């Protein structure tokens, strides 16, 4: 465990003691993630290439003798409580619903849980596109798995988190966020087939580059965005193309050749959505090969193409994202820059030569402030390990 995580665990343990007047028995964490490539391909059963990052949600917990769950959020400074036998969505403490959903889905899957006091302490900026929700879900799942001595496979734990977000919170996300948060590995990107859940840990040659995440400070909420609309449009496009690709059940199954031959049968909006997803899958497959041979220049070009397609075809960009990406691409030493997450705000991710990281932050901050009047926040990230238990005490 590195020094930073040791310090974070110590601080989380002290906060738990202060709130609940007892020390925690378990401290776990779930990292955020940034998608290097694979914009909106996950729920189309396609391919994605994220990394877990060294920004995380810490979760500390202690068993109770009853069936009551109390969750304290250090970030919100609020408590949310419920009984295991009656888990409902909390409209006032919406932040608690991600944890509530995980607990309910674990119970529905037959896992035996008891009451617990839980403290959440997050370093993943909320609404930034770095998947603070998956970080919460995986931190809570890892905590409960250890606290109640459960045996749950890594992929199953990721699916529990996705189910919680889909069915309890009501956001139709794919599996990428939870999978990367659980199965990420230091120094590697995660190539994931979102249909089969087969994955490959692809080494990232990071000796001379850094992953720089820039927060536009434009917040977005997936429930209130057009995310679900885009998902529906993709499903409509598949149905329209099925006569020409009879085995297709998702856009992942439509080849570029099939799309080009039949693109004109689609209404304009559906055609644009399908074109983005189909060629984004091709970019992810190409990116995996480029990482295998260490071609980061080619990889950066694919990042740029991904962003441009997300903007022009999937139409999920905004003024703030365009200002940030435009500024980033003008800095020497930037190999590629694109929006992170679902779009509509949040963060960008750039691959930057190590020696230019400080200059990148200075130049991009100045240009972004000039265009928007907002000072961005930067996170210089590494590809980190997935969710884990940091300490267990009796």
Using alpha carbons, select from 118, 192, 131, 127 the residue that is nearest to residue 161.
Answer: 131
Beta strands in the chain (DSSP E): 26-37, 47-63, 68-73, 78-83, 116-122, 188-193, 199-203, 209-215, 334-339, 347-353, 377-381, 388-392
- Neighbouring CB atoms inside 10 A of 389's CB total 16
Is residue 350 within 8 A of residue 315, CB to CB? The reply is no
Exposed / middle / buried, residue 77 (Cβ in 10 Å: 0-12, 13-18, 19+): exposed
Is residue 59 within 8 A of residue 53, CB to CB? The reply is no
Q: How far apart are CA 327 and CA 302, in angstroms?
A: 18
Q: How far apart are CA 128 and CA 177, in angstroms?
A: 13
Catalytic residue among 35, 54, 121, 177: 177
Q: How far apart are CA 67 and CA 84, in angstroms?
A: 6
193: annotated active-site residue: no
For the annotated catalytic residues, the residue numbers are 177
């Amino acid at each position: 465990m590195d020094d930073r995580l040791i310090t974070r665990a110590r601080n989380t343990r002290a906060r738990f003691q202060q709130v609940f007047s007892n020390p925690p028995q378990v401290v776990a964490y779930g990292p955020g993630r940034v998608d290097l490539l694979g914009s909106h391909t996950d729920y189309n059963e396609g391919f994605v290439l994220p990394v877990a990052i060294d920004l995380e949600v810490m979760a500390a917990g202690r068993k109770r003798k009853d069936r009551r769950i109390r969750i304290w959020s250090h970030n919100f400074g609020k408590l949310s409580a419920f009984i295991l036998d009656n888990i409902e969505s909390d409209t006032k403490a919406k932040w608690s619903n991600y944890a509530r959903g995980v607990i309910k889905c674990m119970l529905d899957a037959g896992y035996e849980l008891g009451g617990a006091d839980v403290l959440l302490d997050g370093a993943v900026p909320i609404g930034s596109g770095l998947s603070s929700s998956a970080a919460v879900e995986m931190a809570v799942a890892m905590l409960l798995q250890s606290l109640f001595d459960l045996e749950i496979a890594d992929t199953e734990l990721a699916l529990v988190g996705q189910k919680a977000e889909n069915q309890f919170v009501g956001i139709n996300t794919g599996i990428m966020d939870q999978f990367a948060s659980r199965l990420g590995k230091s120094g590697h990107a995660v190539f994931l087939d979102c249909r089969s859940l087969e994955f490959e840990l692809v080494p990232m040659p990071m000796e001379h580059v850094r992953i720089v995440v820039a927060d536009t400070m434009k917040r977005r909420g997936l429930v209130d965005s057009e995310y679900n609309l885009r998902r529906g449009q993709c499903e409509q496009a598949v149905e329209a193309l099925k006569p020409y690709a009879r085995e297709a059940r998702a856009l992942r199954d439509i080849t570029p050749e099939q799309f080009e031959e039949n693109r004109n049968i689609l209404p304009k909006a559906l055609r644009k959505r399908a074109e983005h997803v189909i060629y984004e899958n091709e970019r992810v497959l190409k990116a995996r090969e480029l990482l295998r041979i260490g071609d980061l220049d080619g990889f950066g070009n694919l990042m740029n193409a991904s962003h441009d397609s997300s903007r022009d075809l999937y139409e999920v960009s905004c003024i703030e994202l365009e200002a940030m990406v435009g500024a980033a691409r003008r800095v020497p030493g930037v190999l590629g820059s694109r929006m992170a997450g679902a779009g509509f705000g949040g963060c960008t991710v750039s691959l930057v030569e190590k020696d230019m990281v400080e200059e990148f932050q200075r130049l991009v901050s100045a240009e972004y402030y000039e265009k928007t009047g907002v000072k961005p926040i930067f996170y210089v990230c590494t590809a980190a390990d997935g969710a884990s238990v940091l300490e267990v005490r009796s």
